[in-house]
Chains A and B, each alone.
Chain A
Amino acid sequence: MSIQAIAENAVAGGRVTADEALRLYLDAPTSMLAEAADAIRARKHPEGIVTYIIDRNVNYTNVCVARCNFCAFYRTVGSSDTYVLAFEEIFRKIDETIAVGGVQLLLQGGHNPDLPLEWYEDLFRAVKRRYPGFKLHALSPPEVIHISRMSRLAVERVIERLMTAGMDSIPGGGAEILVDRVRKQLNCYSKATADEWIDVMRHAHRAGLRTTATMMYGSVDAEADRIEHLLRLRDLQDETGGFTAFITWSYQPENTELGGYERTGIEYLRTLALARIVLDNFDNLQASWVTQGGKVGQLSLLCGANDMGSVMIEENVVRAAGASYCMDEVEIVRNIENLGFVPKRRNMHYERLGDPLFREQDIPRRRALDTAKSDADPLMPDELSRYAARSRSARVMRGQP
């Protein structure tokens, strides 16, 4: 089949094979990829609606034993600038999020050996007690695996307990590239193999949770690896139907051990368009303006994306690796409407919540993103002494034997 025929088949609703996807990715002109992806988006979302969510990306700890070599965010156990957020700090962040119309926290963090399962359960229960309708989109698959290993409980059991405590959905972080050869090179194989990542999502979907899926490309992966990644997601989606959306972004090299350089804007748009073509059973694709900037982020809506992601209030991980773009609701809506789309707020399940909130109530403009810790907050809150630490430094700090 010619490249044109492969693209036309995809636009008509046909499924592309791995070989066809690779041919498109390597050889199709960007305009052809974009047109095909845009046509698929239009077929799936004929009303011309582009959604976004108001939420806050909170990283509860930067302590991590995984030490992925592409990560600029983590600190090793015992480092002087490690932190864990206090419950009160998290409540304050929720208050601020609700004040600007936010409906959920995206809660992720490092693999901290000194936070047992009970800490997460207590936190989730406390959040739900104080903010009953507020959603917790929390703990990516590698974090769930980490908790499962530390607590010596099966992943299913951990998910069950976290759901009982208040977890509403699971973010698709930590997928990077779901190819074990690549994961070994990124030093993230031990935190979760490709199969393990997929398995957590399978368990979550079976337990009734919806999740997202992600892909971080452009580190040590080749084009064929990205396609293998997309096909693994597509297969699981065929099986469970549990993914709500797919988000891809380029590896951000600044301040990382791996180093290297970032992939270009056009490569991002091509990768996004290819994902729209391959992931025929995904309803939603998000634009990653956080890594690409507002302008290329907006153009993502012409390359297959139908969602502008989050009106972010806080971001720590990508910023640590060199990217820091900020768009508040006004700006996101302006960018959506500028392309002739209709903006709608949504929740994590992609249910529409309504029109832009700033048109209904007075919301202060936001020109910069907050960070996890304000200077006034202690790096390690007192309440941690209630939880058994595993590392020596944390035991000493908490006065535990």
Chain B
Amino acid sequence: MATELLSELAAKVAIGERLSIDEGRALLEARDLIQLGMLASDARGRRHGARATFVRVCDVPLGDAAMAELPLETAGELRLVGEPASREDAIEAVRALAARSGSVPVTGFALQTLYDLAGSDDALVGLLASLKAAGLAAVAEASADRIIARGASLAPLVDARMPLARLVVEQPVEAAGAPAWLADLRGLQAESPVIRAVAPLARQQPGDVPTTGFDDVRLVALARLLLDNVESIQANWRRSGAKLAQVTLMFGVDDLDDVPARDPRDLGPRRSSLEEVRRNIRAASLEPAERNARFERLTR
């Protein structure tokens, strides 16, 4: 039964046909992780071939935007981090950083933070336009949990023509609810197609019961299979750690976010973050390709 279902779904994935929530549930129930991973890998391969991208990121605290030392030679994204006190602070920080960023794109802020500063969807469109004019290449992230809980939409991003670098997840998604939750995200993207990448692994882990490796890679695989209108499924290099991040590449992830643009100390060329991420991607039988925050390919 499970084998029949899997071959049926494999045939659908092979021709790029959409999987339903019920089919997502059936995949969960089959509990065959290796087959699920193979299906998700096929789906990833259809979109991205044998390539996996990564981006080297430098976090810049808002208060340091005008003076932080910037690793412009190595970073593919300068990401403003922190909560601006006002719209003006946000715009000023972007302007200050963009003035010093050369060709490295500047991203920053969580969508919710900007919404809180703006107060309404209309005002948010205006704020996004101002941030864009100041040099913001993309909003760094939006929290899927908050958007779904608030019934909010991503329409202001579309209206302001502002890209969203990634949709992130705060709290772990319970396995049984994952197909329906992914279908909600698929609907969100259908309404306002600004999500370039989804990072499905939760940022916060309950101390007593963190997600397991099985939970993580299964969710990643389901995300790849059900989010057929999202280009990239992403894993976070720093948060997940090299080992898990690499394993997710076998389960549908095509993009590794948050590779450090600066190594904490001189690790030598063979152990630098750049070499480590490339080595991990190759050991997953994929070709590494460095990108920037605009998803433009970098040759370094």
Seen from chain A, the residues whose Cβ lies within 8 Å of a Cβ on chain B are 29-31, 34-35, 38, 253, 259-261, 263-269, 292-299, 302, 334-335, 338-340
The chain B residue sitting closest to A303, CB to CB, is: B34
What are 30 pairs between A and B in contact, CB < 8 Å? A31-B34, A35-B34, A259-B268, A261-B270, A261-B271, A261-B275, A261-B276, A263-B283, A264-B242, A264-B283, A266-B249, A268-B243, A269-B247, A293-B241, A293-B243, A294-B210, A294-B212, A295-B212, A295-B213, A295-B247, A296-B244, A297-B213, A298-B212, A298-B213, A298-B214, A299-B214, A299-B217, A335-B213, A339-B212, A339-B214
Q: In chain A, what residue has the closest Cβ to B209?
A: A334
Chain A residues, CB < 8 A from B244: 265, 293, 295-296
* B interface residues, tally (CB under 8 Å): 32
Q: Any chain A CB within 8 A of the CB of B216?
A: yes
In Å, the complex CA distance between A259 and B249 comes to 27
Q: Are A338 and B242 touching (Cβ within 8 A)? A: no
State in angstroms the CA–CA spacing of A340 and B33 once bound together: 12
Could you say which of A260, A298, A302, A334 contacts B34, with CB atoms under 8 Å apart? A302
Do the beta carbons of A338 and B38 come within 8 Å of each other?
Answer: no
Q: B280's closest neighbor in chain A, by CB?
A: A264
**Given A260-B270, A264-B279, A265-B244, A335:B212 Cβ within 8 A:** yes
- B212 near A296 with CB under 8 A, answer no
CB distance from B194 to the nearest CB of A (A): 31
A299–B212 Cα gap in the complex (Å)? 9
Residues of B near A292 (CB, < 8 A) are: 243
Residue B246 at the chain A interface, CB threshold 8 Å: yes
Q: A266-B284, A294-B212 are in contact. Are A30 and B270 (CB under 8 A)?
A: no
B233 within 8 A of A: no
Does B159 have its Cβ within 8 Å of any Cβ on chain A? no
- Cross-chain contact A296 with B213 (CB below 8 angstroms): yes
Asked whether any CB of chain A lies closer than 8 Å to the CB of B215, the reply is yes
Q: How far is the CB of B94 from chain A (nearest CB, A)?
A: 36
Question: Which residues does chain A contribute within 8 Å of B271, judged by CB atoms?
Answer: 253, 260-261
Tell me if B283 and A296 are in contact (CB < 8 A).
no
Q: How far is the CB of B134 from chain A (nearest CB, A)?
A: 40
Is there an interface contact between A261 and B279, defined as CB atoms closer than 8 Å? yes
Query: Is chain B's interface secondary structure helix, strand, loop, or mixed overall?
Result: helix
Closest chain B residue to A261, Cβ basis: B271
Q: Is the CB of B212 within 8 A of A266?
A: no
Residues of chain B within 8 A of A269, CB atoms compared? 247
Q: How many angstroms between the C-alpha atoms of A267 and B216 in the bound complex?
A: 19
Is B203 an interface position by the 8 A CB rule?
Answer: no
Please determine whether A340 and B31 come into contact, CB atoms closer than 8 angstroms.
yes
Least CB distance from B265 to A in Å reads 12
Since A31-B38, A338-B215 are in contact, a sample of 14 more A-B pairs with Cβ atoms closer than 8 Å, ordered by chain A residue number, is A31-B37, A259-B268, A261-B270, A263-B283, A264-B242, A266-B280, A268-B243, A292-B243, A294-B212, A295-B244, A296-B213, A297-B213, A302-B33, A339-B214
CB–CB B246/A264 < 8 A = yes
Find B247's partner among A253, A296, A339 (CB 8 Å cutoff).
Answer: A296
User: From B281, which residue of chain A is reached at the shortest CB distance?
Assistant: A264
- Closest B residue to A268 using CB positions: B243
The distance in angstroms between the C-alpha atoms of A335 and B212, with both chains bound, is 7
* Cα-based distance from A295 to B216 in the complex (angstroms): 9
Residue B250 is within 8 A (CB to CB) of chain A in the complex: yes
Interface centre among B210, B212, B249, B280 (most CB of A within 10 A): B212
Pick from A260, A264, A302, A339: contact of B243, CB under 8 Å: A264
Report yes or no: A266 in contact with B283, Cβ–Cβ below 8 A.
Answer: yes
Query: Cβ of A38 and Cβ of B283 under 8 Å apart?
Result: no
Query: Nearest CB to that of A296 among chain B residues?
Result: B243
Select one of A31, A253, A268, A338 contacting B212, CB under 8 A: A338
Q: What chain A residues lie within 8 Å of B243 (beta carbons)?
A: 264-265, 268, 292-293, 295-296
CB closest residue in chain B, given A289? B213
Which of B33, B41, B247, B268 makes the CB contact (< 8 A) with A266?
B247
CB-defined contacts of B41 to chain A, threshold 8 Å: 31
CA distance A253 to B270 in the complex (A): 12
9 nearest A-B pairs in the assembled complex, by CB-CB distance:
A295-B213, A265-B243, A298-B213, A264-B283, A299-B213, A338-B212, A296-B243, A295-B244, A264-B280
Residues of A within 8 A of B209 (CB): 334
The docked-state distance in angstroms from the alpha carbon of A31 to that of B37 is 8
Q: How far is the CA of A244 from the CA of B4 in the complex (A)?
A: 38
* Neighbouring B residues of A264 by C-beta, 8 Å: 242-243, 246, 279-280, 283-284
B174 to chain A, nearest CB (A): 13
Give A176 to B153 CA distance when docked, in angstroms. 56
| Chain A neighbourhood of B284, CB < 8 A | 264, 266
* B34 adjacent to A338 (CB under 8 Å): no
Closest CB in chain A relative to B209 CB, distance in Å: 7
Shortest Cβ distance from B215 into A: residue:
A338
User: How long is the Cα–Cα vector from A339 to B242 in the complex, in angstroms?
Assistant: 22
Which chain B residues numbered 245 to 279 have a C-beta less than 8 Å away from chain A? 246-247, 249-250, 268, 270-271, 275-276, 279
CA of A298 to CA of B211, assembled, Å: 11
A294 partner residues in chain B, CB cutoff 8 A: 210, 212-213
Name which residue of chain B comes closest to A29, CB basis: B285
Question: Does A334 contact B250, Cβ atoms closer than 8 Å?
Answer: no
In the complex, the chain B residue whose C-beta lies closest to that of A335 is B212
Question: Measured between alpha carbons, how far is A302 from B35 in the docked complex, in Å?
Answer: 12
A34 to B34, Cβ gap below 8 A? yes
Residue of A nearest to B240 (CB): A295
B247 to chain A: closest CB distance in Å?
A: 5
Q: Given the complex, which residues of A lie within 8 Å of B34, measured CB to CB?
A: 31, 34-35, 38, 302
Q: How far is the CA of A34 from the CA of B243 in the complex (A)?
A: 17
